[in-house]
Structure 1
């Protein structure tokens, strides 16, 4: 098969969707995936992984950690879904997408094996399971040192969970999403996410609500896994539309010490800075200066305070990603890198800092244009909407927002509307290129019934053009609701506007 034929083949196989799982049309279990991988020689058993699960933040944490590992000189595979702009971006090695030719060649082999399996009476895998199989083969044959692996949905029964015990299991935020499959309570959802915890592994846990935290603690105890509760940084010390600077303390852990993070030889003497001190160049939390963060605010080396009681404080970490939540996501990546360092991976603080600084991750509170400000965000559930609301209020205090909104019908979009609605000046509703999409006319009606001004548009491009035509230079436009249309709107904006003008 060539690449076009590969896409046609994928379109012909069963697709995973919550609706199909609930109706029984598609199974949510690992039988077909395990069978497929066994018939392919189990390449996943020859790889090393960091496995990342959670409701929100998986992609950003994966991007931060992947770049840290790349800066450390490790051949790093990364698997993320869905694709934002290009199908092949789901499979990356050292930041480079798989080529269409390589993808088609590997998929041809996988499809041939599936046909043989079907003749032998074995089950048909879903589209996502097939993609995961291609990913395992590709990374194995390309001799990746480590793979940063993001789950698709849940964890316990997710196709990615056929891997052996990972080097680390990272659990991001847990909230109510995909409830028809993962469970109707936070405890049930947490149990599904905890499925990536395997015997004896290191588990890095984002701060959770008590009912979720108890589940992870119980599963770690059962699996004899080492649980590390990460004290993430929730608030940047400095921020602007060019990025954020924050400090992170990795507290000493009774399971495994986090207090001896090594400095590169060129780091020079350590500098002690009081936790309460703020440099004169710092901005108050509500300010968004017009000028960029100066290069001198982002030093090439990181100064630390090392104390056995409180752990290691790493100062002046810079990330280019905006969004009030990104410091927390970056914190999880840094903590994961430290666990890997203690296991012998050649990771220095210099690599950590450079990895964070060079991370690129599209569609997460991404500033596509200035004057007017145009933000593209993939927030698609209540927790994501709350993070978006907080970030908009932080960077654009007191301003009303023109929203472009497209969302899937199986999301809790009523709650999403309640969260972002008070910030709205106007809504333009758009069609999402996904069979699970909510009709934009229906969404517009529901927005109007909730008391907001809303206009349904026939295309993403039409909505974008109307929003830009009807705004002033000091206005703010924000597209959100689903990752499935982020790529389309980014392409349209890049074609019609000068980026960050």
Structure 2
């Protein structure tokens, strides 16, 4: 048993080296031992290659603006570990983390002696989340999938609505190297008779979703078919986006969101459709005013986040090819007037060649690369060779890179820091502390 938060965290992080162990047999065992906390609260389960975190952020704001308490489970963390489990945007306290860790530690010892084997870090944290919300119920809990869906630790959830935000090629070593294979993994969260909301998906992924929904007799709500976002336009003075929403039963004009990019309009519309379905199914009240207020209050770090105006610094966790595509599009559309200095660090198992080609399409930009501490990180040498970056455009120390590039910014310039979410977490911490 642990007596301090620091001891608990040290033990949890020792499990990180286990890596992902696909399958939910260990989670089912844990839920049985914990008296099935996953059945004691209402929830929405969110999967997708990208857009999960933003969709969680929109949903949290929508429910809170309508007067409901909201639990969230997200990963990875950006500022502190505790934010992975939160209520109404407030991170779990150190004491709560300590208490839940001690509950799980004895079960960890017990399961390690069985044929199921030891737990991974993500399984421990997921079980902590279910255990906590089982004894501290909220009106609704938003559960973000860690990896894939079908074999993800969260897939013992019994949600009221499921969401698949996007499908793109990522984690192909685990999920498969074709869109239908990856879609099959994501579709694994669609449950029998449970409504599923589908974001902007390629046609071959949609086919997989339709087949799975039919198999599970799950009502399917598709973006651009059953609900739409139209009249998308900039609110230039705030860098906001605005759009109109319509579905079979409701329509709203002039919804404004503070998260930038056309992909965020897609995410917001998908979140709103899921919110409306959940409210209608569970008898939750809302109004057009609460919906518009909720969207306006949404915040989500390191997603096209302006962290400083002077100098102008933008953070974006474009950690894979689909995310880099939407970043390049947003830069071309919103910041074409700026001279852009880009600092990038990424994990080695990503498609670095394609990511590099995409970020180089941004006009009036200069790309620098660096590295950071992570077992999967790409070295500066690997980034140079795979992205085609000259040696003088590399930094071995990312803190030095941030400081030097920040100091060089002139009026009207922009420093964009992008790549791995783990890297962006470190950078954001560093800049805010300064």
Residue 127 (structure 2) aligned to one of 116, 133, 139: 133
- Indicate whether 1:10 and 2:12 are aligned: yes
C-alpha displacement of 1:139: 1.3
Residue number in structure 2 paired with 1:322: 260
Residue number in structure 1 paired with 2:323: 384
C-alpha displacement of 1:167: 1.1
Distance in 2, Cα, partners of 1:378 & 1:111: 33
SS class of match (1:108):
helix
Residue number in structure 2 paired with 1:35: 29
Count residues in correspondence.
427
Distance in 1, Cα, partners of 2:366 & 2:245: 41
Residue 198 (structure 1) aligned to one of 166, 174, 191: 191
Distance in 2, Cα, partners of 1:169 & 1:227: 10
- Indicate whether 1:434 and 2:374 are aligned: yes
Distance in 1, Cα, partners of 2:288 & 2:260: 22
Residue 74 (structure 1) aligned to one of 56, 68, 72: 68
Stretch moving more, 114-123 or 220-229 = 114-123
Per-residue Cα deviation, 1:253-298 (whole angstroms, up to 9, x for no partner): xxxxxx1xxxxxxxxxxxxxxxxxxxxxxxxxxxxxxxxxxxxxxx
Write the mapping of 1:207-226 to structure 2, written as runs, cut at 5 A: 207-226=200-219
Residue 232 (structure 2) aligned to one of 219, 233, 236: 236
C-alpha displacement of 1:134: 0.4
Larger Rg computed on CA atoms: 1
Distance in 1, Cα, partners of 2:72 & 2:313: 28
Structure 1, unmatched stretches of 5+, are 18-25, 253-258, 260-311, 497-501
Distance 1:247 1:235, change over 3 A: closer
C-alpha RMSD over aligned residues: 1.8
Per-residue Cα deviation, 1:429-453 (whole angstroms, up to 9, x for no partner): 2223321111123213444xx3667
Structure 2, unmatched stretches of 5+, are none
Per-residue Cα deviation, 1:295-314 (whole angstroms, up to 9, x for no partner): xxxxxxxxxxxxxxxxx321
Residue number in structure 2 paired with 1:419: 358
C-alpha displacement of 1:122: 4.4
Per-residue Cα deviation, 1:208-266 (whole angstroms, up to 9, x for no partner): 211101000000000000001123437632322624242333232xxxxxx1xxxxxxx
User: Are 2:306 and 2:312, in contact at CA under 8 Å, matched by a contact in 1?
Assistant: yes
C-alpha displacement of 1:426: 2.5
Write the mapping of 1:87-126 to structure 2, written as runs, cut at 5 A: 87-119=81-113, 122-126=116-120
Distance in 1, Cα, partners of 2:233 & 2:112: 57
Distance in 1, Cα, partners of 2:237 & 2:170: 30
User: Are 1:426 and 1:453, in contact at CA under 8 Å, matched by a contact in 2?
Assistant: no
Distance 1:451 1:124, change over 3 A: closer
User: Which one has a larger percent helix, Structure 1 or Structure 2?
Assistant: 2
SS class of match (1:13):
helix
C-alpha displacement of 1:414: 0.8
SS class of match (2:262):
coil
